[in-house]
Structure 1
């Protein structure tokens, strides 16, 4: 079963010089690959879900259907959490910028964005409360409000991969400069 949200399109590898290498800019795309921390955590969650589903099958054969139902629901919830974890990140299209979180997704149209820029600031390490000095890709909306950190070089996608963060930030900025009204 192909999982198109797991990897970025191969066009970024083939055309490193081209910021927007796609023919169809209406389709939502993540302009980078998920990092090893995110993929590893998703794999461990899916491995755990397989054990829970195997336990559900054993419980069914033992005859305790209510316990099997609980295990089945737990296994499906873990699978859904792993897939949502793999889908998290920043997605771009001609319509705007979409920030997919674990529990919430928000979309901002390009005409409502003032700027997308990289800045040095304290950032969260792997999303935990601990902060370290790092880089963040900031979204500044039109009107009053605080800038929103879209990507950081210490999140699950870019920890230890500074070049990948720079490439992803440059690509998102290129999408913004292409579609944001001047």
Structure 2
């Protein structure tokens, strides 16, 4: 079963050409970077926990307590859904705009309402936690003004200790913006 949220932009493969927009189909939503090890490790830990809870549910159901087994199945389903949502989180682009997928909320900004995409130095959250550190963020500024929205930071689960990957992802998102804001 293909999992499209795990596929990375082939522009970063060794065999790909050095182009910013390597896909023929620009209507599909794509993540222009690979998942980071922190995000993958957190999702793997959640899936491991879910497997243990499912094993416990099986043992409890064989023991005859269906209410306890049902509760374990529900907890495992929530853990699996949380792991999948964690893997889906990040910045996505298409011909239609740029999308920031969070754990609980998704925000889409159409290209015609994007004033600029730029990388700035500012305090950023460390792994999404309340603690902030000085770092870089790719900011989306909308044409109507308002608060700039950070799409990516160099201290999130995808780019912690991977500054080159952050720079490539920011450049790719800026290239998508330059291509479709002009058109």
TM range (shorter): over 0.9
CA shift, 1:181, in A, is 3.4
Partner of 1:106: 107
* TM value normalised by structure 1: 0.96
Partner of 2:173: 172
How big is each residue's C-alpha offset from its partner over 1:24-62, in whole Å with a ceiling of 9 and x where there is no partner? 000100000110000000000000000001111111100
Contact 2:141–2:147, Cα closer than 8 Å, also in 1: yes
For structure 2, list consecutive stretches of 5 or more residues without a partner in the other structure: none
Which is worse superposed, 157-166 or 142-151? Answer: 142-151
In the superposition, relative to structure 1, how do residues 76 and 21 fare at CA in structure 2: closer, same or farther (>3 Å)?
Answer: same
Partner of 1:159: 160
How big is each residue's C-alpha offset from its partner over 1:126-149, in whole Å with a ceiling of 9 and x where there is no partner? 111111111100000111211111
Partner of 1:10: 10
For structure 1, list consecutive stretches of 5 or more residues without a partner in the other structure: none
C-alpha separation in 2, matches of 1:144 and 1:107:
16
Contact 2:11–2:18, Cα closer than 8 Å, also in 1: no
C-alpha separation in 1, matches of 2:25 and 2:149:
27
C-alpha separation in 2, matches of 1:161 and 1:7:
18
Aligned length: 182
CA shift, 1:113, in A, is 0.6
Give the RMSD, CA atoms, in angstroms. Answer: 1.2
CA shift, 1:66, in A, is 0.4
C-alpha separation in 2, matches of 1:145 and 1:9:
31
